[in-house]
Structure 1
Amino acid sequence: MWQPWEVWYHQLKGHYKSWYQSAAGLRTYQRRKINKLLEHTSCHIRFYQSYKRATLYDYPIIDKSFVQEHFPYLNQAKLTSMQATQIGHNQAIEVHQSLGTAGLPGIYLYSTYEKIASFGNVLSKMFPKLFWKNKKIAAFHLSTEPYLATKFSTRKMNWLLLDLHRSFSDLINELQRFQPEVLVGSVQTLCELAKLQLSGKISLRCYHIIATAEVLTPLAENLIKSAFQQEIHQLYQCAEGSLGMTCKYGTMHLNEDEFYIEKEWIDHKRQRFVPVITTLKRTLHPLIRYRMEDILVLRNSPCLCGNPALAVDKIVGRCEDVLYFKQRVNSGLKPIYADTLNQVLGEVAPFVHQYQILQHSMRHLEVKIKADDFALAENAMSKQLQKLWELEIVEPPQLEFVRLEPTRLDQMFRTTKRLEKTAVPF
């Protein structure tokens, strides 16, 4: 019985903290938390016991593969990854497993208290204005253990969890009967619901739409907005934790209450970066200087909401989504990021329902298209891509256009993929 009250407490705490927290106060809070975390880990986490009295920047940068390889040395319970997956419904430990969209799945441990605190904080960001209102929330999920810990929820929230590994038609029937006020799902799931809504096959009246799991492209955003007549919010949620949420102005603010975030710049303009995160409140399985696999675009102007937390304009995608081409003026390589492609190809919306670009080599692109008129869509895509090659001053690759087969909603969808890994290591 105490767990819902704990969620409510952390939700309330996060709700009111957003009213008074300043940039200076946030940095002071982070420094205090980092010092406490490093003192704890150097005593209780075997891998870090040689780092006593070290500063944060003395610690090595690690990634998902490193964490999985050294799993029992990086968690306080000394569990192996195999033991972690067999925990089941443990009263003291929660397990998050990533979907394996980039490499092998990752496993991350939370104590029950850590999970409750994080869940309450997420709720405070998801519903900043609707704190006291009863809410009916439908959430589609891909993982076997949903990242949103609804079993800890309060009476004010009535959740419907929809597992995308089940029959989609059965899920739609449940959704129709439930009639949610809030809808949470992956981008492609929301797109499928938008098509059903526009065709009159379903009728949902939601006041809050939250996209998660996949990159929200302009093409997808326009479709979902037209169907539900709502602005689309985004939740930056993964197995490593809840890293960000859009505010009422549509700005993505990173969750610096729970993570200290370093920026690993990947372009000379210092706009795009890969976040290197340090968890501030987790001691069972802390992540210290953990390099994510996502690319974010920094927001240069402050947001009108006044939140001092780091703001980003958009989540571009995975590091493996970056395509490389030969430059015309020299022998170097030119990276073209997924957001650049999405922006240029946003103009094909009248002709193309969905697309995916696969780079087999720097001279060969496979362009998959879903459209009513394939020839018209192919022509529109060709023209836009030709503009892109001219703009970026790169050698134009050979384009192979094929039809995009129906995508599976129980798998992550990426609009760009670089298949040739060895030629252009990122």
Structure 2
Amino acid sequence: MKPAAAFFTLAAFLEARRRQMLYQDREGLLRAQERRLYSFLRRKAGRVPAFEDLRGRFLQDWPIMDKAALMADFASYNRLGLTAAEGWAHLEAGTSPEGYAIGASTGTSGNRGLYIVSERERYRWLGTILSRALPDFLSCRHRVAIVLPANSRLYDAANESGRLQLRFFDLGLGIEAQFSPLTEFQPTVIVGPPKFLRALAESDTQIAPQRIFSGAEVLDEEDRRVVETRFDLIVREIYMATEGLFAIACPHGTLHLLEDQVAFEFLPLEGSANLVTPLITDFSRETQVMIRYRMNDVLEFAPIPCPCGLPHRAIQQVHGRCDDIFTLPSFGSPVRVTPDVIRNAVLKADKRISDFRVIQTGQNTVRLELKTEEADCLQTAAASLRTLFTACGAAPEIKPVAAALPPPSDRKLRRVRVEFA
């Protein structure tokens, strides 16, 4: 155990717990957020070239940035002046500047993103997760299984802390290949994407985790039901991306935004009354500065407060990405249909449907895939989709197909997606 690692992890954990206990009502939380945010905008935010002329302005006066802007001039957004080419070279070689960690997104959208964080930021990230997900980590020695397609130095901080036994399981080697090593490890905590958690729940793997966390993909309600039924646990989500850590579910299973370290603005999604896409300003990070960064995610606010009492805004569900909204021709303007209503249309068609894919393959063509053993549900599901699209003013050609539908081990599972330029 590294003494410095243990110290920084403990300090970050205690600070995150202090903030969580300090903010008992939403008004107090937002006041504290505003103080920290504007201190950050006045001081640290202007230390990168992209923002040096904007120091001290109100948040709404800063420009909106996105992944394209960040990757086009990566050096301007980080304090090291590290270029994207240098970042990719470090990643390829498995190296990083001393005192920093470099990572990248999986590239499921076809456009990979880089991130760079300092050692202090790594431990702050770990302390925040522990404070929400494993508040008993000082008294219990958990065995944590991280099951993902790619490892990250962010997870190393957990093992370095000396309080957790963490093991990484590489999904790139296949989903079923992880079942035997997991049985040997006997984790008390599992963190993995829904496709893996469901496959694990449907297997005969003999493990009894105490907590299960879902991340990296959209958690569909059918996947949640299967996993929770098998393990008799509430599946809790972690909303995290290349751009940062944004929300962790409480023991009730409700996602709460980490508003004590990130300021969120919300842009309404065209054609929807209850869905938004967020702009994030992370005032806990200073190596790579992210201000008014436009995320590509579709969020739905929770309609009622969570019984846990946390004042942090509750999210009903992360529905997917803006890229996966179907845009279909209509008699007037094109209509946009979001992934959540498409998923619901398929699942409500027949209770026997356990998995599916709905893919927009052309401007006005949609492919519907169901598992081979559920092929007799194809026509009912296709009719349900036609009813949905007709109600929206569209009439795409729907092509029903029976297929094996194995979950991909090397990329994110997106049941509703757009696959044409």
| TM-score, structure 1 as length reference | 0.90
Matches within 5 A, 1:194-343: 194-196=201-203, 200=204, 202-267=205-270, 270-327=273-330, 330-343=331-344
Corresponding residue SS for 2:121: helix
The reply on whether 1:413 has 2:413 as its aligned counterpart is yes
Q: Give, in whole Å, the separation in 1 of the partners of 2:379 and 2:304.
A: 38
Q: Give, in whole Å, the separation in 1 of the partners of 2:260 and 2:71.
A: 25
The reply on whether 1:354 has 2:355 as its aligned counterpart is yes
Which deviates more, 259-268 or 160-169? 160-169
Match of 1:58 in 2: 61
Which deviates more, 146-155 or 348-357? 146-155
Residues 24-71 of structure 1 deviation map (CA, whole Å, 9 limit, x = unaligned): 222222222222222334642112122234222221101011101011
Which deviates more, 167-176 or 60-69? 167-176
Match of 1:192 in 2: 199
Call closer, same or farther: CA 1:335–1:366 in 2, change over 3 Å: same
Corresponding residue SS for 2:60: helix
Q: Give, in whole Å, the separation in 1 of the partners of 2:160 and 2:308.
A: 27
Match of 2:15 in 1: 13
Preserved contact between residue 3 and residue 152 of structure 1 (Cα < 8 Å): no
- Pick one of 142, 150, 154 that aligns with 1:143: 150
Residues 353-399 of structure 1 deviation map (CA, whole Å, 9 limit, x = unaligned): 3211111235311112224142x121331233234235x34233221
Residues 64-94 of structure 1 deviation map (CA, whole Å, 9 limit, x = unaligned): 1110101111111101112223441544111
Number of matched residues? 413
Corresponding residue SS for 2:155: coil
Call closer, same or farther: CA 1:31–1:153 in 2, change over 3 Å: same
Match of 2:398 in 1: 399
Match of 1:424 in 2: none
Preserved contact between residue 218 and residue 342 of structure 1 (Cα < 8 Å): no
Preserved contact between residue 101 and residue 153 of structure 2 (Cα < 8 Å): no
How far the C-alpha of 1:169 sits from its partner, in A, is 4.5
Call closer, same or farther: CA 1:24–1:255 in 2, change over 3 Å: same
Q: Give, in whole Å, the separation in 1 of the partners of 2:121 and 2:79.
A: 14
Preserved contact between residue 218 and residue 346 of structure 1 (Cα < 8 Å): no
Tell me which amino acid in the other structure corresponds to 2:124.
A
How far the C-alpha of 1:277 sits from its partner, in A, is 0.4
Which deviates more, 47-56 or 179-188? 47-56
Matches within 5 A, 1:365-404: 365-374=366-375, 376-390=376-390, 392-402=391-401, 403-404=403-404
Pairwise CA RMSD of aligned residues? 2.2
Instruction: Give the fraction of aligned pairs with identical amino acids, expressed as a percent.
Output: 22
Call closer, same or farther: CA 1:89–1:171 in 2, change over 3 Å: farther
Corresponding residue SS for 1:105: coil
- Pick one of 4, 28, 37 that aligns with 2:6: 4
Unmatched segments (≥5 aa) in structure 2 = none
Which deviates more, 358-367 or 291-300? 358-367
Call closer, same or farther: CA 1:380–1:267 in 2, change over 3 Å: same
Corresponding residue SS for 1:307: coil
Tell me which amino acid in the other structure corresponds to 2:233.
Q
Which deviates more, 340-349 or 54-63? 340-349
Q: Give, in whole Å, the separation in 2 of the partners of 1:398 and 1:353.
A: 23
Q: Give, in whole Å, the separation in 2 of the partners of 1:12 and 1:41.
A: 23
Which deviates more, 162-171 or 1-10? 162-171
Tell me which amino acid in the other structure corresponds to 1:231.
I
Which deviates more, 405-414 or 228-237? 405-414
Call closer, same or farther: CA 1:301–1:353 in 2, change over 3 Å: closer
Tell me which amino acid in the other structure corresponds to 1:24.
E
Preserved contact between residue 7 and residue 152 of structure 1 (Cα < 8 Å): no
Preserved contact between residue 368 and residue 404 of structure 1 (Cα < 8 Å): no
Q: Give, in whole Å, the separation in 2 of the partners of 1:109 and 1:251.
A: 29
Which deviates more, 90-99 or 56-65? 90-99
Residues 257-294 of structure 1 deviation map (CA, whole Å, 9 limit, x = unaligned): 22111111114664211110011111111101100110
- Pick one of 25, 36, 42 that aligns with 1:39: 42
Q: Give, in whole Å, the separation in 2 of the partners of 1:272 and 1:168.
A: 32
The reply on whether 1:124 has 2:131 as its aligned counterpart is yes
Unmatched segments (≥5 aa) in structure 1 = 422-426
The reply on whether 1:179 has 2:186 as its aligned counterpart is yes
The reply on whether 1:157 has 2:157 as its aligned counterpart is no
Which deviates more, 101-110 or 88-97? 88-97
Call closer, same or farther: CA 1:371–1:126 in 2, change over 3 Å: farther
Q: Give, in whole Å, the separation in 2 of the partners of 1:146 and 1:154.
A: 13
How far the C-alpha of 1:326 sits from its partner, in A, is 4.0
The reply on whether 1:96 has 2:103 as its aligned counterpart is yes
Corresponding residue SS for 1:78: coil
Call closer, same or farther: CA 1:219–1:65 in 2, change over 3 Å: same
